[in-house]
Structure 1
Amino acid sequence: MLAFTFPGQGSQLPGMGEPWTSHESWELVIEASDACGRDVAALLLDADADELRHTRNSQLSTFVLSMVVLDAVERTGATFSIAAGHSLGEYSALTATGALAYDDAVRLVAERGEAMQIAADEHDGTMAAVLGLDDNLVAEACENTDGDVWVANYNAPGQVVIAGAPDAVAAGGAAAKAAGAKRLMQLQVGGAFHTPFMQPARDRLRKALAEVEIRAPSVPVVANVDARPRSDDNEWRSLLAQQLTSPVLWRASLHALTDVGVTTFVELGPGKVLTGMTKRTNKAATALSVGAPSEIDAFMEALADSAPAVPAVLGGENLYVTERLIVSPCAGIFALDSDMGDGQPIKVGDVIGHVAGEEVRSPFAGTVMGIMAVEGERVTARQPIAWLRTGDAT
């Protein structure tokens, strides 16, 4: 069972978009710039480390590059059964599963980054990783420290991030070292994220979330705030807002993925931070990362090596001799024809919908048994759009 995971802020690198400029998936960068009114290509190609460290820049650039990588991987035909994302990466996971339309997600991420940047500017804060100490002892060190310091991320065994006011974080780190921590590592971020310091950003993000459609994801997504897989759309607005002021339960999320049968974890986006956390948390799992086009072949080879001799049915409908799939002619945003739906009889050449302005026509006559793509979803070339039973229409 395969899970796609998506990195958060801190994984960005100067020039991280350069390997992708000649790849077909680079079109997503242009779409992102149009959606949010910012030059995303400049962030991915020209911004230096200091510029990318700003929250409004790091979040947008990391999200868009993660979607470029996802698009490239999906063009190979690879599919996943469940997804998760670390902090910002949760937006990537929701977009990957069709819960958020790409342009809506770009605008949400831009708004989230801006809101968190403003909150950080108004309330000085920092973050530090505590290495080599049990989770409960780190939490106790924070609780017993005077001042504002909290656990922000439970990342992996022996890796917990604390955040808050700079003096309190330093004191909490010292208390953790006194309790046996091997090392305290200051993080190069501009705020105390996932703490009460982000309450103003949470209030602003709620308004932005209320203005977008959130659909049920095509596969479950594990939420940061409680490490539970969710396959409906009911709670995501609340979860995404709550996430800003709650600790990221990433270690528990990795355990949740393992508990449902995931054996292969693939990190899509810049850096390899999540891959390292996966290896620390589940030593028996296969942990891979794809951040550049050159890594796609290795990813495909690893999947081939781990594939069962007889393909397993992971869910969905079995296609019999009278059933056919209609696939996308290209990559892009899918729009369903207003007259098309389940039970609709169609003829050869009838239009199912459009992808990036190109018509999706049926090469078969029959009856639509199900629409497999979601309105507003980004689909890849040859991705199934509809499932039909042939012979019922002429």
Structure 2
Amino acid sequence: MLAVLCPGQGAQTPGMLLPWLELDSVAQRLHALSNATEVDLIAHGTTSDADTIRDTAIAQPLLVATAIATGREALAGLTPGVVAGHSVGEFAAAALAGTLADADAVSLVTVRGRAMAQAAAQSEPTSMAAVLGGVAEEVAEKLESLGLTPANANGGGQVVAAGAKSAIDALVAEPPARARVVELQVAGAFHTSYMAPAVEILADAASGVARTRPTATLLSNADGTAVDSGDEVLARLVSQVASPVRWDLCMERMLELGVTGILEVAPGGVLTGLAKRGMKGVPAVALKTPDDLPAARELLEAHA
């Protein structure tokens, strides 16, 4: 069984769309999706620098559009067994699983990105940091002592902490024993209570979006469960803005379902890296450029 994975914020890199635009079919999809948002996806995916595409309001629709366009190209009409996305990648996953129209997913995530940027700007300075290694109990105690939230439980000994910038600075300065802490290049404390104002805005936008039952097994960031109702998918997409991402549970669920191959759509690499630790032995292909498509199609033939 094949699982298609969609990466989250932080996976974007300057110029990442340049090689994909050489494929007419992908270019057409990207131009169409660009029309569904106020963001010039083509310009930001080709000429914008790292600081520009780090902006939440730009990064999120750019990532979702890239995931959808490259996922459609790789799948070539096939329906995968399992689909999942990390954080904002869950919107691309919902589109690839047939719950949301591609344009609606990009349009909705544009609202999400803008609302989250506004929420971050309205609060005290906040940030996020990856905690790599350490003893789980000791890491949890350290985060609690600093008033930080474990916003992403990524598995493989990786937890992303989020909260006040001063607390993140303290965590970086004095990490838990046997752990390394790396502050992330994000604009706020995502998946925490700081994002509560964005939830209401996104809920209003989502209320008018058409949704259908997934045609593939679609896993939820909240707890790794398969969601089979379009209404529930959309409700979870809204609530996850201010709730922790449990990617560790998503990987556990994929193993329980019998996933034998992983395809991470562009800009791939992060989730296949996590799978090397959390889903050891499962073959994986990460789409970075069109040069990766032959390997992706071989994986499809073997596991779809």
**How high is the TM-score relative to the length of structure 1?**
0.73
Which of 225, 229, 234 in structure 2 is aligned with 1:228?
225
**Alpha carbons of structure 1 residues 213 and 281: separation in structure 2 relative to 1, 3 Å:** same
Residues 83-130 of structure 1 deviation map (CA, whole Å, 9 limit, x = unaligned): 100000100110001100111111101100100111111122100000
2:173 and 2:51 map into 1 onto residues whose CA distance is 28
Structure 1: stretches of 5+ with no match in the other structure? 308-313, 315-394
1:97 and 1:107 map into 2 onto residues whose CA distance is 17
1:50 and 1:230 map into 2 onto residues whose CA distance is 35
Whether contact under 8 Å (2:171, 2:181) holds in the other structure is: no
Counterpart residue identity of residue 207, structure 1: D
1:95 and 1:265 map into 2 onto residues whose CA distance is 18
Residues 227-250 of structure 1 deviation map (CA, whole Å, 9 limit, x = unaligned): 111122231232112201111000
Whether contact under 8 Å (1:5, 1:93) holds in the other structure is: yes
- The corresponding residue for 2:30 is 29
2:178 and 2:196 map into 1 onto residues whose CA distance is 30
- The corresponding residue for 2:121 is 121
2:290 and 2:136 map into 1 onto residues whose CA distance is 37
- The corresponding residue for 2:240 is 243
1:234 and 1:280 map into 2 onto residues whose CA distance is 33
Does the residue aligned with 2:201 lie in a helix, a strand or coil?
helix
Counterpart residue identity of residue 265, structure 1: I
290-299 or 107-116, which moves further after superposition? 290-299
Counterpart residue identity of residue 157, structure 1: G
Using CA pairs below 8 Å that are at least 6 residues apart, which structure has the higher relative contact order? 2
Shift of 1:133: 2.1
Counterpart residue identity of residue 121, structure 2: D
- The corresponding residue for 1:4 is 4
Whether contact under 8 Å (2:39, 2:58) holds in the other structure is: no
1:250 and 1:43 map into 2 onto residues whose CA distance is 28
Shift of 1:173: 4.9
Whether contact under 8 Å (1:130, 1:173) holds in the other structure is: no
1:165 aligns with 2:159: no
Does the residue aligned with 2:231 lie in a helix, a strand or coil?
coil
1:71 aligns with 2:72: yes
1:274 aligns with 2:271: yes
Q: Greater CA radius of gyration, 1 or 2?
A: 1
Whether contact under 8 Å (1:149, 1:172) holds in the other structure is: no
Whether contact under 8 Å (1:4, 1:80) holds in the other structure is: yes
Which contiguous aligned blocks of 4+ residues in structure 1 show a shift greater than 6 angstroms? none
Residues 333-367 of structure 1 deviation map (CA, whole Å, 9 limit, x = unaligned): xxxxxxxxxxxxxxxxxxxxxxxxxxxxxxxxxxx
Aligned pairs, number: 302
Residues 54-108 of structure 1 deviation map (CA, whole Å, 9 limit, x = unaligned): 0011111111111111121122x55410110000010011000110011111110
1:137 and 1:208 map into 2 onto residues whose CA distance is 40
1:234 and 1:226 map into 2 onto residues whose CA distance is 17
Q: How does 1:75-114 map to 2 (within 5 A)?
A: 75=76, 78-114=78-114
1:245 and 1:35 map into 2 onto residues whose CA distance is 25
- The corresponding residue for 1:52 is 53
Q: Larger helix proportion, structure 1 or 2?
A: 2
- The corresponding residue for 1:17 is 17
1:141 and 1:105 map into 2 onto residues whose CA distance is 37
Question: What percentage of aligned pairs have identical amino acids?
Answer: 37
Q: How does 1:206-221 map to 2 (within 5 A)?
A: 206-221=203-218
- The corresponding residue for 2:138 is 137
Shift of 1:302: 4.0
Shift of 1:215: 1.0
Counterpart residue identity of residue 164, structure 1: G
Counterpart residue identity of residue 104, structure 2: D
Residues 39-66 of structure 1 deviation map (CA, whole Å, 9 limit, x = unaligned): 2111111111010010011111111111
Counterpart residue identity of residue 116, structure 1: M
Shift of 1:174: 5.4
Shift of 1:138: 2.2
Shift of 1:303: 4.4
Across the aligned residues of Structure 1 and Structure 2, the Cα RMSD in angstroms comes to 1.6
**How high is the TM-score relative to the length of structure 2?**
0.94
Structure 2: stretches of 5+ with no match in the other structure? none
